[in-house]
Amino acid sequence: MSSTDKSCGCGDYPLLKSIKNPVEVQALDKEEQAQLAHELRQCIINTVSKGGGHLAPSLGVIELTIALFKCFDFDNDRIVWDVGHQAYAHKILTGRYENFHTLRHKDGISGFPRMAENKYDHFGVGHSSTSISAILGMAVANDIEGGDRNCVAVIGDGSMTAGQAFEGLNQAGGMKRKMVVVLNDNEMSISANVGALSSFLSRKLSHPVLTRFKKDFEGILKQIPKIGDDLAMYAKRGEDSFKSFFTPGMLFEALDFTYLGPIDGHNTEALIDVFEQVKKLDTPVLVHVLTTKGKGYAPAEDNPTYFHGVGSFEPETGMAAKFKGGLPSYTKVFGDTLCKLAAKDDKIMAITAAMPEGTGTDCFSKTYPDRFVDVGICEQHAVTFAAGLATMGYKPAVAIYSTFFQRAYDQIVHDVCLQNLNVNFFLDRGGLVGADGATHHGVFDMSFMRHIPNIICMAPKDEAELARMVRTAIDFDGPAAVRYPRGVGVGADMDEFPSVLTIGEGELLRDGSDGVIITVGSRVWPAVEAVEELDIEHGKSVAVFNTRFIKPLPEKQILELTKRFKNIVIVEENAMAGGFSSAVVEMLVDNNAIDGHNIKRLGIPDEFIEHGTQKELRAEIGIDTAGMKIAMLELLNK
């Protein structure tokens, strides 16, 4: 692309090119709105097809985004997109069209709204169900200031299942604060949405059915002694109130929201009509919008779960661009191992918080449907639910991404560890995740688990060790956690049936005489590579010790090593503050074993790491093979 070319690099989009300011959307007529929707869709499909991203959620809200920009002025008004994975159209319309081709690339546009990125990103998101709380805060501040801002949250039906969403609704209804919640209901979370709320929302009674049912219902109500007449009177208030009694409005109106809907979320005119009405209301309003996930792109409409967050693909067919054969992902190894163990132990249960595919528990759900539970996007609940199961002798395996596990900190401490229950946590995406960026890196789990009594924490060096750790965790009679990285294994030989590890025992993978790298998890094999290169390139003999356990640390083995080696590099893919390397150093201090040593710690510094590939980020932070070599050479040359 030439430097003068102002297209996003993925096609020709005259209308997108011409919009310099989001307020210009307000001037578009009906035909231009349709053209805009078409161009947004094509631009998003083409861009995501090249570098991956959240396609289906973004395609589902194109008309909704246009209608919101048409009716609201986001220079003054405020908008919070829940999760923010659906905000690609918002990004394009708010001055990021020309750079949209950098989506999710290092130093490019983030995959989620970020306040630091653009003034129209009014709140940073990535974890779900925060939008109502945040927009309520903005609405209250607006009131205190005597402002006239409209405050809008857009939240999906999946994200609405989380407790925090209801905490927000509860406060907002109680305060009767003017604000708008748009419920984007596509009946999908990443997979099909689950739980009573989702069944409730999908009750869309057709008119003839309603009418017949209304008559029968009035009759039934009248038969109830004493209160029957009153109830029947309520039901008689007319078709509308009757309808709302049985449709989702009932729930939100009980929370003191004015309910409007359900509305066809792909009919821009209808949406505009409603939002114009909404602006005149002085109450909390919930606008219930029905959309199709992946709308306008047949492969995504047909398979919204696959296209929820997708890698690169052929735009014409939707086929994955690269054949992802070869090495198994850690996710799959975990899922397969759990199934293998569950075949021999009917007390094992699998729990996911709305991510069966992402956590590899989808195979378990098919093989052992009675022992599988998807709780929805409710990580805290998942942990306490598992604690309850454990009190009854079950061995729950709670499979969660490391980053979302952060939500459940108190439940881990109070409900699981304090009661020393046999709950097992399998934390996928531990470490740097790549393109999803700061909201999704799982770089705090070692820090927030290792100080909790009773729990044991492990991180595997490869897929074979992961399988052994899964078994070790389940066999251990108490809380256990295994955290493993995003991506594929290294091609390790798998046990026929995974063996059990000795708790708190590490392994000396390479011996040496000049120094030692002490590490764990994803950094172990890169450390081995580093010492091999140090040997070949610099004639240095460096050992590698894999602790396997973050807690309990293999103290004796590490203390033995410190007797032999003066030069020690400690490496982790976790925040150094309170993480693995600080655990090792604390232990050395407590054992008076630190004096006379050269120690260098490598890990995630005290800052949030943005998006980029895992390779780029590890290199930049200096926790890759090259970084370890440099660190060890510095110590050896001291």
Binding status of residue 407 toward ligand TPP by CB under 6 A: yes
275 contacts: CB under 8 Å, gap ≥ 6: 67, 68, 70, 71, 72, 180, 287
Q: Which amino acid is at 143?
A: D
What track of x and - describes contact with ligand TPP for positions 274 through 293 (by CB under 6 A)?
-------------------x
Shortest Å distance, C-beta 271 to ligand TPP: 16
Q: Considering the rule CB under 6 A, would residue 307 count as an interface residue with ligand TPP?
A: no
Collapse the DSSP code of 315 into the 3-class scheme (helix H, G, I; strand E, B; otherwise coil) and give the result. Answer: coil
In this structure, the number of other CB atoms found within 10 A of the CB of residue 82 comes to 30
Question: How many residues interact with ligand TPP (rule CB under 6 A)?
Answer: 25
3-state class of 213 per DSSP?
Answer: helix
CB 258, min distance to ligand TPP, A: 22
CB 121, CB 113: distance < 8 Å:
yes
375 vs 474, beta carbon nearer ligand TPP: 375
**Could you tell me which stretch among 80-88, 295-303, 428-436, 450-458 binds ligand TPP (CB under 6 A)?**
80-88
Tell me the per-residue interface mask from 82 to 101 with ligand TPP, x by CB under 6 A, - otherwise. -x-xx---------------
Q: How far is the CB of 435 from ligand TPP (least distance, A)?
A: 14
Per DSSP, helices labelled H in 416-523 are 445-450, 463-475
Whether the CB-CB separation of 363 and 399 falls below 8 Å is answered with: no
Specify the residue, 355 or 474, whose C-beta has the smaller distance to ligand TPP: 355
Tokens of 351: 């729990």
- Give the footprint of ligand TPP on residues 144-163 (CB under 6 A): 156-159
Closest to ligand TPP by CB, 379 or 573? 379
In the chain, the amino acid numbered 83 is V
Residue of 272, 348, 354, 456 that binds ligand TPP (CB under 6 A): 354
> In 3D, which of 382, 380, 377 has the Cα closest to residue 349?
382
Residues 379, 627: Cα–Cα separation, whole Å = 35
Is 190 among the residues that bind ligand TPP (CB under 6 A)? yes
Candidate list 379, 463, 572, 573, residue with the active-site label = 379
Asked if residue 404 binds ligand TPP (CB under 6 A), the reply is yes
Nearest-approach distance from CB 382 to ligand TPP, in angstroms = 10
Residue reference for tokens 């969660």: 400
CB of 224 to ligand TPP, least distance (A): 37
Catalytic site includes residue 293: yes
Q: CA-to-CA distance for 634 and 638, rounded, in angstroms?
A: 6
Percentages of the chain per state (helix, strand, coil), in multiples of 5 = 45, 15, 40
- Closest contact distance (angstroms) between CB of 316 and ligand TPP is 24
Kindly state the smallest distance separating residue 378's Cβ from ligand TPP, in Å: 9
CB closer to ligand TPP, 201 vs 466: 201
Q: Which amino acid is at 17?
A: K
Q: Out of 96, 114, 149, 293, which one is annotated catalytic? A: 293
114 makes contact with ligand TPP (CB under 6 A): no
Q: Does 329 bind ligand TPP (CB under 6 A)?
A: no
Stretch that binds ligand TPP, among 352-360, 382-390, 410-418, 425-433 (CB under 6 A): 352-360
Interactions with ligand TPP, residue window 365-394 (CB under 6 A): 377, 379
| Segment near ligand TPP (CB under 6 A); pick from 138-146, 180-188, 321-329, 360-368 | 180-188
Residue nearest to ligand TPP (CB): 156
Report if residue 355 touches ligand TPP, rule: CB under 6 A: yes
E strand map for 479-521: 480-483, 507-510, 515-519
For residues 17-76, which are near ligand TPP according to CB under 6 A? 57, 60
Write the DSSP assignment of 242-283 as a string of letters.
HHHHHSTHHHHHHTTPEEEEEEETT-HHHHHHHHHHHHH--S
Q: CA Rg, the chain, in Å?
A: 27
Could you give phi then psi for residue 299, rounded to 5 degrees?
A: -60, -35
Contact 184, 60 (CB under 8 A): yes
Residue whose tokens read 């449709």 = 247
Binding mask 123-142 for ligand TPP (x = CB under 6 A): ----xx--------------
**What is the Cα–Cα distance from 609 to 567, expressed in whole angstroms?**
28
CA distance 17 to 23: 14
**Binding residues vs ligand TPP (CB under 6 A):** 57, 60, 83, 85-86, 127-128, 156-159, 184, 186, 188-190, 293, 308, 353-355, 377, 379, 404, 407
Which residues are known to be catalytic? 293, 379, 407
